[in-house]
Amino acid sequence: MRTPLLLFLGMLNLATLLTGASAAATLDQESRFGALVLILGSGLGGAVLHPDVRRTLARGFNLRAESALDLTALSLTFWALGVNLFQALVLSPRLFAVAQSPEIQLQLQQSYLDILVFPLLTFLLAAFLGVGLYTRRTQDEVLRRLGFERPSWRDALTALLITPGLIGLAFLTEAVWRVVDPSGLEQVGSLSELLLGDLQGVPGALAIGIAGALGEEVFFRGAYQPRMGILLTALLFTSFHTQYGITLATALVFVIGVVLGLVRRYRSLNAAIAVHFFYNVVLVLLNPVG
């Protein structure tokens, strides 16, 4: 199994690296940095396939250098970081321009099905399979590995204490953003409303709250963080939220990712899910751009 896996990861990263090299040669100067990030991400994703590189990195993380699963996770992490940041730096600015077309706007609108399939089902499936459901672990063992516990009043109290602070930070970020880049804030707000489509009001808030909190927390804080640590998890989590480009909101998402990581480590996965859920629901209902 190791040889086919190495070939797959090598070909994936090589193809992405070549795409980045082609983009660097053809894109304008402003977008070239994004292409270089794509090259760096896929280059690192390929480099960890070498045993010496993998052993060196394993010392800094809770990884097993000879584990095929950990190898895959580490390689795909660097690959995903490169791809997501390339999208944020190169593709997202172009999205703002083409989103003015009514035909494009109709294609961009998300439905409840989009929300349920990704991130909810995709992240849940990746998390449960990634920690070895029915291959290395039983169902009960998987739930313990992910960090699920019996809900407690401490989880609810944690959510009640932390969520208002994160919401306040979101509004503060929006206020600062409005001062330093009002046109960028308005542009992101317009695209956000477009992408959300009909996902408004209480039903939309609940759908986004459940999908984001349950799917993302089980994957990032449940499956991924115990191996990769809080900071790398928060960085990868942030990279999946750069559909509007690199903005002040990106820094906010990273801070939220770190806070959720700390909640997961020192309280429970249940508490992290609760904080994420209430944060999403309140923001959708109050509709701040952040």
Q: Which residue has the higher pLDDT, 27 or 123?
A: 123
Q: How far apart are CA 159 and CA 278, in angstroms?
A: 8
Q: How far apart are CA 185 and CA 270, in angstroms?
A: 33
Last-in-domain residue among 98, 132, 151: 98
| Same domain assignment for residues 270 and 126 | yes
Last-in-domain residue among 47, 67, 98: 98
| Same domain assignment for residues 76 and 201 | no
| Same domain assignment for residues 187 and 222 | yes
| Same domain assignment for residues 135 and 72 | no
Q: Say which range, 51-55, 61-65, 120-124, has the weakest mean pLDDT.
A: 61-65
pLDDT band at residue 174 using 50, 70 and 90 as cut-offs: very high
Last-in-domain residue among 61, 79, 98: 98
pTM: 0.89
> What letter does residue 27 receive in the DSSP assignment?
S
| Same domain assignment for residues 15 and 44 | yes
In this prediction, residues 56-70 reach a mean pLDDT of: 83
Domain that holds residue 231: 104-290
Phi, psi of 28 (to 5 degrees): -75, 170
| Same domain assignment for residues 129 and 248 | yes
CA distances from residue 182 to 169, 186, 249, 254 in whole angstroms, order as listed: 18, 6, 13, 22
Q: Which amino acid is at 135?
A: T
On average, the pLDDT of the chain sits at 86
User: 157-172: per-residue pLDDT in tens?
Assistant: 999 999 999 999 999 9
| Same domain assignment for residues 88 and 130 | no
Query: What's the domain count of the chain?
Result: 2
| Same domain assignment for residues 61 and 90 | yes
Q: Which amino acid is at 173?
A: T
| Same domain assignment for residues 251 and 271 | yes
pLDDT band at residue 244 using 50, 70 and 90 as cut-offs: confident
Residue 285, sorted as left (phi over 0), alpha (psi -120 to 50) or beta, turns out to be alpha
